[in-house]
Amino acid sequence: MNVYNKSSIIEFYKKHADSKIPLEIWFEEVTSKKWKTPNQIKQDYGGSVSVLKNSRVVFDIKGNDYRLVAAINYENGWLFIKFIGTHVAYDDIDANSIDVFKPKKRKTINKKKK
């Protein structure tokens, strides 16, 4: 799978140092996969993953201390990270719609001609 917004993983483990190794392992595992269905993810991760609607998947990270929500485009092999947080923070979100890591809009500068 091609994982988009890896920078979100790095930003997260800079704040939560104990998540660095588990997130790096998760990233290496996921990038080696070519999932075509949610059932394939369940086969690989068993009870440490929850399949949601809208092609969303919740991964338990570091023994369920952290949660990572991803949207997956199975046809193209893309995985988009939508949320990474503590289990407590996860309880306060809607995993089916959250999108914390939206691409930032570029600011345009309008220069007036003199």
Q: Is residue 25 predicted with pLDDT exceeding 50? A: yes
- Region 70-95: mean pLDDT is 94
Domains in the chain with CATH codes = 2-90 (3.30.2310)
Q: Is residue 93 predicted with pLDDT exceeding 70? A: yes
pTM of the predicted protein model: 0.86
Kindly give the interhelix angle for 6-15 and 20-31, rounded to the nearest 10 degrees: 160
Q: Is residue 83 predicted with pLDDT exceeding 60? A: yes
Residue 54's pLDDT band (boundaries 50, 70, 90)? confident
Q: Supply the DSSP symbol for 56.
A: E
User: What confidence tens digit (pLDDT) does each residue in 96-110 have?
Assistant: 999 887 655 555 555
Q: What is the pLDDT of residue 104?
A: 55
